[in-house]
Structure 1
Amino acid sequence: MEGPGSTPYVPALDGLRGVAVAAVLAFHGGFGWATGGFLGVSTFFTLSGFLITTVLLVEHDQHGRVGLRRFWSRRFRRLLPASLLCLAGVVVFGATVATAGQLAHLRVQVLAALADVANWQLIVSGTSYADLFAAPSPTQHFWSLAIEEQFYLLYPVAMIGLFAVARRTGDVRRTVAVGLGLAVAGSLLATALLQGAAVDRIYYGTDTRSAELTLGALLAVALHRRHLDGAGRRLAGSLGLAALAVTVVAWSRVDLADAWLYRGGLTAFALVSAALVAGAVHPGTAVSQALAWEPLRRLGLISYGVYLFHWPIFLWLTPERTGLGTGPLFVLRVLVTVGAAVASYALLERPVRARRVLAGREALVLAPAAALVVVVGAVVVTVPGRDAEPTFEEAQALVEAGDFTDAPVADLAATPPPADLAAAGRPEIALYGDSTALRLGLGFGGWVQASGLARGEGGVNELGCGLLPDDHFTRFRYDGEADAPDTCASVDEAWAADIAATDPDIALLVVGPWEVADWRDEDTGEWVHLGQPAVDDLVRRELDEAVDILSAGGAVVYLLTSPLIRIGTQDGVPPAFERPASDPSRMARFNAVLAEVADARPGEAAVVDLAGYLRSTPGGEMDPTLRPDGIHLTWDAATAISTDWLGPEILRRYLADRGPVATTAPATAATGSSPTTGP
């Protein structure tokens, strides 16, 4: 059923492939009517299990055995050539248009895709903080191909074992069915045991998704050497037609965030797909005739290439690069994808499968050579340059270690600081906040060391944690919906401990981007945001509490205003649509609440207008060279801002608030203290 050959060719099954890949394309096109299009992958799983099992059963009937070498060779010739071509394209994507965030992990992602373990790489790597602001990986879609390849590797071996048992029992159908039934039960058990884990573990896991393939295999066993006539064929056709209707509804109504999917729902949908396959495989039924429609059949023939090439093409052809709206852009993306898939099918895939090229030992030489070229390319394009921006994790390590030797501004001490600032007496400065504080701390820490006008041993920044979340708000909606990091619950204690340990003279608080997100009220289940009285009051209380903690040792607390943010910006290119948290009125309200708290606590807290300073620069508040992701300063920008304005401004404000102290000559960069922010 993979085509004319050892098993009968069923056009409707290619048509089903075409429908399934069309659903995936619509889902990735971002259409609201295709929120469940990702289930097209589940349909592929079930269809693959059915087809592969049919091939194995027919081979066992004809030869009394399964030839592993022949089986794996067919899979190799069917899947590897286009996969290598796609990964070569991904390397070119990385060398030309990939964002810094995409390049950061591209090497390991390409290697994982080559090794058919992309799904496990996604599980092991998890979602880093940077992923919240990064463009998707061009190899993201290889997770499903990895699951299928792992299935193709292990499943025929398991079937050989079941066939061996069947020789003793004398009943092939029952023996294989029992074995496959146990495999489905094991997959469901794995899903049950993983309840409470991250849903990505269930979604990407081979163990949890294998039931969808195995149910297709069970269908193949049930239908093998059985020819339904009359009532049986009508029943299969009716079930298939009903399954097609359910599938279309699911593709349009189900959402990836629906909890039931991860509680056995994906396996339940595989039952629907199995019914659809059962109807399609019987010519003459209504569902078989519908799916055998020639355009669908032809799309199904190239569905593997369409799936492979569509994702990097979709990432390449963005609204920003094309200037097109959703509908016209989708048409362009699909046309380019289909063109690439047709070319691959005609010039590469079909000739290799038919052994017109790469016959015999040629394949043994050229396939590894092609894979090596892809690997070398992935390594070369991901070698970081000297001026590469550190990741969040690297930035945190640099700040904790006080290592600013690679600061983009070569010599921060080249411009002597104003002499009057020495009267501040080298105060101890500590910086507290979220990831924006961390990025600012890279530059501010360098200024502290180079100027010798201040010291900085303390500070705490926690990725993903500002004043919110708290016990009442733990789930946010920013660029997607997620739970706040568990570490946020202990931020207050970490700040208090750091204040007690380092006793700074000045505490800088840098927050804002998390406070303007949508937050779910755990009592009502409603989504709320800054600008609503209840949230305004909560943020005001959290700011008051922060000032209490940071001023406990006598430090003066400077509250830095937050500039506007633009979520979804990639390498300075604005997003195709604005997220609610980017609404300027929300950040304006946050800064207003900030000022209210400072005004109510004279002598303890004061506002330092970072947002106003950025507005005064030539590129303005949203200058993409300062904040390429629309939120975080680059190291270069943080260094320039700290040197030109923020560091001296803090000391001037401190002198005005506390008065001059007896001073000695400022320390030089060589003897200056270490970082302004800590772990």
Structure 2
Amino acid sequence: MRTLRDTFDPRANSFDVLRLLFAGTVAVSHGLVLHTGWQPRWGASTLGDFGLDGFFILSGFLVTRSYLNLASLPRFAWHRFLRIMPGFWVCLLVIALVAAPAAALLRGLPAGTPFTGEPSAIRYVLANAGLLIVQYDIAGILVDRPRELSFNGALWTLFFEAFCYTVVAALGVLGVLRRRRWVVAGIVAVLAVLTALQEAGLPVWVNERVLRLLFVFLLGSLAHLYADRIPMRGSIAAAAAAVFLGSVAVFHDYRVLGAAPLAYLIAWSGTCFPWPWSMRADFSYGVYIYHWPLFQLLGLTGLAAAPSPLFVLVGLVLVVVPAALSWYLIEKPALSRKHSALPDRIAGWTARAGRRAVVRRSRRAGPGPAPAGTSRGGRSAARPNR
């Protein structure tokens, strides 16, 4: 029986298409919310939740693989930094310098309002630059909008994505990913139990977002760690689809029984299609980070009166432009620096600084106490026999 390890080819798989599909799903969900205040919902989960969970499952699989292949914490951190931060920082600048002034003009306000009002566009960039989004509006431009007041309500997930990267790094440093993969299985089991307890209405004292996103992310990690034991068959995929749909229909939180089947369906879809489509240009990140501000701007135009399908379709078509620019001008050039010697130099400098600190502490402490029965010079302090 072929396993996930047998079917996964890093150069020929459909994961790129799945990422773009999940980004599009989130965009459709947010487009509906910003246009009508409504989106499809099943229990506690929305259409966008399924897309986001799919993103995190794929990320867990690929990021765990990345750590194991790189075998270097500094290089792993460097790769993760290049994948998220350059595109994110430019997105903040685009919102502050382009989207916010455009929104002000569409509202009949001066173009300089984002920089003269409070909270300002400059503060928006600086306050959010650390990846944790703490400011959503700019200068009150969207304050009386009937829908979401945020200029980019999709960016909050990136902080949790980075948190999951940190968890993988910690597990890697502790040797869990290579030698004790059962620990990851145990963590996933605990998160599954907590999800079930939460479904039952019992307090779990865990942040809901952390529980949800770490659970699905580590399911992806687990899929990579146990790829040699996971069979890939169409009949199992069909059964997984049935369990997933049943969990969506029965439970308030579909993840109680549906998260693991969803992870299997994603792994099977990404590796078992007979014609894998690996895309040369990865627009998924750009679609994800730019669709919200684009829909907000469209909502300030005459298109706001259009039917929701047309509104969302126009937004999906237009978002290809900033997504392509983000990929070709920011993300791809940044990723071309993955093999830079900088992280190795930083690691070497840190190691040398640590050794120098140890030497300085030992010198300040001075020589230790002389062993019993000896003098400082090392000679015996005992009186000779007479």
TM interval, short-chain normalised? 0.5 to 0.7
Within the candidate set 355, 362, 372, 2:337 is matched to 355
Contact preservation (8 Å) 1:14, 1:298? yes
Partner of 1:25: 27
Partner of 1:238: 235
Q: Which has the higher contact order (CA 8 A, sep 6+)?
A: 2
CA distance in 1, matches of 2:341, 2:119: 35
Name the amino acid aligned to 1:240: A
CA distance in 1, matches of 2:204, 2:320: 35
1:37 aligns with 2:43: no
1:90 aligns with 2:72: no
Structure with the higher helix share, 1 or 2: 2
Once the two structures are superposed, the pairs formed by residues 503-522 of structure 1 within 5 Å of their partners are none
CA distance in 2, matches of 1:193, 1:161: 30
Moved more, 185-194 or 346-355: 185-194
Contact preservation (8 Å) 1:241, 1:279? no
CA distance in 2, matches of 1:267, 1:109: 37
Aligned residue for 1:158, secondary structure, equals: helix
**Residue 115 (structure 1) shift:** 1.8
CA distance in 2, matches of 1:37, 1:187: 22
Partner of 1:138: 151
**Residue 142 (structure 1) shift:** 1.3
Runs of 5+ unmatched residues, structure 1: 1-6, 60-65, 123-129, 167-171, 365-679
Quote the sequence identity (%): 24
Aligned residue for 1:116, secondary structure, equals: coil
1:115 aligns with 2:97: no
CA distance in 2, matches of 1:359, 1:156: 20
Partner of 1:278: 267
CA distance in 2, matches of 1:331, 1:80: 28
Report Cα offsets for 1:303-354 as digits up to 9, x if no partner: 1111011111111111644353323322221122111111211122112211
Partner of 2:350: none
Name the amino acid aligned to 1:280: S
Cα 1:18–1:8 shift into 2, 3 Å = same
Name the amino acid aligned to 1:97: A
1:314 aligns with 2:295: yes
Cα 1:273–1:10 shift into 2, 3 Å = farther
CA distance in 1, matches of 2:218, 2:339: 33
Name the amino acid aligned to 2:150: S
Within the candidate set 53, 64, 71, 1:53 is matched to 64
Name the amino acid aligned to 2:29: F
1:327 aligns with 2:306: no
CA distance in 1, matches of 2:306, 2:280: 25
Partner of 1:223: 227
Aligned residue for 1:30, secondary structure, equals: helix
Aligned residue for 2:32, secondary structure, equals: coil
**Residue 186 (structure 1) shift:** 4.1
Partner of 2:258: 269
Cα 1:186–1:356 shift into 2, 3 Å = closer
Contact preservation (8 Å) 1:49, 1:215? yes
CA distance in 1, matches of 2:88, 2:184: 29
Name the amino acid aligned to 2:67: L
Contact preservation (8 Å) 2:176, 2:183? no
**Residue 104 (structure 1) shift:** 6.2
Aligned residue for 1:82, secondary structure, equals: helix
Cα 1:321–1:83 shift into 2, 3 Å = farther
Cα 1:180–1:359 shift into 2, 3 Å = closer
Cα 1:198–1:97 shift into 2, 3 Å = farther
Report Cα offsets for 1:507-532 as digits up to 9, x if no partner: xxxxxxxxxxxxxxxxxxxxxxxxxx
Contact preservation (8 Å) 1:238, 1:279? no
Once the two structures are superposed, the pairs formed by residues 524-673 of structure 1 within 5 Å of their partners are none
Within the candidate set 9, 12, 18, 1:10 is matched to 12
CA distance in 1, matches of 2:296, 2:22: 20
Bigger CA radius of gyration: 1
CA distance in 2, matches of 1:72, 1:308: 21
Aligned residue for 2:319, secondary structure, equals: helix
Contact preservation (8 Å) 2:73, 2:173? no
**Residue 46 (structure 1) shift:** 0.8
**Residue 199 (structure 1) shift:** 12
- Superposition RMSD in Å: 4.2
Contact preservation (8 Å) 2:243, 2:257? no
Contact preservation (8 Å) 1:239, 1:279? no
Contact preservation (8 Å) 1:23, 1:34? no
Once the two structures are superposed, the pairs formed by residues 364-513 of structure 1 within 5 Å of their partners are none
**Residue 112 (structure 1) shift:** 5.9
Name the amino acid aligned to 2:252: W
Cα 1:201–1:243 shift into 2, 3 Å = same
Contact preservation (8 Å) 2:184, 2:218? yes
CA distance in 2, matches of 1:145, 1:10: 27
Aligned residue for 1:29, secondary structure, equals: helix
**Residue 218 (structure 1) shift:** 0.8
Report Cα offsets for 1:421-468 as digits up to 9, x if no partner: xxxxxxxxxxxxxxxxxxxxxxxxxxxxxxxxxxxxxxxxxxxxxxxx
**Residue 242 (structure 1) shift:** 5.3
Contact preservation (8 Å) 1:215, 1:274? yes
**Residue 148 (structure 1) shift:** 0.7
CA distance in 2, matches of 1:54, 1:48: 10
CA distance in 2, matches of 1:79, 1:239: 34
Aligned residue for 2:325, secondary structure, equals: helix
Report Cα offsets for 1:7-27 as digits up to 9, x if no partner: 722331112112212221221
Contact preservation (8 Å) 1:302, 1:345? yes
CA distance in 2, matches of 1:104, 1:246: 50
**Residue 275 (structure 1) shift:** 0.8
Cα 1:134–1:339 shift into 2, 3 Å = closer
Partner of 1:260: 252
Aligned residue for 1:223, secondary structure, equals: coil
Report Cα offsets for 1:464-488 as digits up to 9, x if no partner: xxxxxxxxxxxxxxxxxxxxxxxxx
Name the amino acid aligned to 1:336: L
Contact preservation (8 Å) 1:17, 1:300? no
Contact preservation (8 Å) 2:82, 2:338? no
CA distance in 2, matches of 1:246, 1:144: 27
CA distance in 2, matches of 1:198, 1:161: 26
Contact preservation (8 Å) 1:18, 1:299? no
Contact preservation (8 Å) 1:46, 1:214? yes
Contact preservation (8 Å) 1:10, 1:281? no
